[in-house]
Amino acid sequence: MSWQSFIQTQLEQRKQNFAWRERRCIDGANGRELNYQGKHYLNFASNDYLGLSHHPDVVTAWQQGAEQYGVGSGGSGHITGYTKAHYDLEKELAEWLGYPKALLFISGFAANQAVITALMSQGDRILADKLSHASILDAAMHSGANLRRFQHNSVESLEKRLAQTTSGKTLVITEGVFSMDGDGAPLEQLQQVAKQHQAWLMVDDAHGIGVRGSQGRGSCDAEGIKPEILVVTFGKAFGLSGAAVLCDENTADFFIQTARHLIYSTSMPPAQAVALTEAVKQVKQADVAREQLRHNIDYFRHNINVPDMQLASSMTAIQPLIIGDNDKSLQLANFLREKGIWVQAIRPPTVPPNSARLRITLSAAHQQHDIERLLEAMHDFVFIS
């Protein structure tokens, strides 16, 4: 088969299975609103859970950082790309989250890749929740370690995996809040089981940090645990981008020596680090926004009425509406778009087969009448379909 035939066949299969992915060039968006091709939409597809992406103090901090440092870091953190702005942000994160050290990365994907491939190698064992993010599973497969997946949020399944002996190190990996289902992991029980078997626990809390726990410290704080490795990302509740890994000092030194994403990637712009330091401040004092988000979640769940569709049992900002059929999921997403509401249809392979869904995300920036518009439009679709 030629290269052209291979690619064409793959593309045709995607289209036939209603699994075609498409990027849309939007004109601008925040946690509540989105503009696309001159039209205004209510935005229920953003991860801007606290509405901080356009917060004036965060925007001003980035501008001031750019005036002081310029718009780029100029190199890897091991060369010229590690500034006082980065140091201050790492120090602020470590103190806030209760760890000796924090290390900055350009993305959550990079952080997960860096940690897993640095820590694990042939002869070691990775036990990851079955619904772990692609960045976790990809890194696990590339590390050379033996990857085994335990049943989603099942402590019993993890115990069975841990009971099987291994000669190398064991790393248990889960998420604080799962990105496609919106549910949380039983972190306290998972940590207890991991410790009983001398395994380390790694938690990716991309969707929990900022919105759960005291001062938004995340899922681990809410569950009263401190895993050996905590990954937090800034593309959700913080309204920016990037990530940090929290750990002890020796582990941080080990990553500085071995983590290829730290050594060989240009570091985030110092201006971004300045903005993130301000965003941390805003997250810490965002109790009112977190309460508003909880109210929006409760209101949405209490009032939704969509027979033949399954609303996942999530109490987080991520509210998946399971439809099953790829085509019908796209039909509903397109119907809502015609009503001025932006919601994304998520289809396999991002989610398991026959579990296509609308991934509805709520923000503290949403007002009650925004949610009412969404609910009414969804009800209209059910009525006419």
**Tens digits of per-residue pLDDT, 143-183?**
999 999 999 999 999 999 999 989 899 999 999 999 999 99
Model pLDDT, residue 381: 87
Coil, helix or strand at residue 311: strand
> What Å distances lie between residue 382 and 91, 115, 332, 376, CA to CA?
51, 45, 9, 10
CATH tag for 56-284 (out of 3.40.50.1440, 3.40.640.10, 3.90.79.10, 3.50.50.60): 3.40.640.10
Residue 363 C-beta-side C-alpha neighbours within 13 Å: 24
130 is catalytic: no
Specify the pLDDT at position 385: 62
How are strands ordered across the β-sheet holding 200-204? 101-105, 243-247, 229-233, 200-204, 170-175, 125-129, 146-150
Residue of 53, 107, 135, 179 with catalytic role: 179
Q: Which residue has the tokens 């109490």?
A: 315
pLDDT of residue 19: 82
125-129 vs 39-43, strand pairing mode: unpaired
What integer pLDDT is reported at residue 152 of this predicted model?
A: 97
pTM for this structure? 0.94
Round to whole Å and give the CA distance between 95 and 335.
47
User: Where do the structural domains in the chain lie, given as residue ranges?
Assistant: 23-50+286-384, 56-284
pLDDT given at position 294: 97
Q: Catalytic one among 48, 175, 221, 370?
A: 175
- Catalytic position from the list 55, 101, 236, 261: 236
Distance CA 235, CA 217 (A): 15
Assess whether 334 carries a catalytic annotation.
Answer: no
Which tokens in the block code for residue 140? 């696990």
Q: Which of 30, 43, 47, 132 is catalytic?
A: 47
- Identify whether the C-beta of residue 121 lies closer than 8 Å to the C-beta of residue 145: yes
User: Which residue among 204, 223, 278, 370 is the active-site one?
Assistant: 204
207 as an active site residue: the answer is yes
Which is catalytic among the residues 207, 228, 296, 366?
Answer: 207
Pairing of strands 344-346, 101-105: unpaired
Cβ–Cβ contacts within 10 Å for residue 99, how many? 22
Q: Where are the alpha helices (DSSP H) in the chain?
A: 3-16, 56-69, 84-97, 108-119, 134-143, 155-163, 187-196, 219-223, 249-258, 260-264, 270-284, 287-303, 326-338, 368-384
* 23-50+286-384 and 56-284 share one fold: no
Active site residue 47: yes
Q: Which residue has the tokens 């004092």?
A: 285
Below-70 pLDDT ranges, the chain: 383-385
Domain spanning 23-50+286-384, CATH class: alpha beta
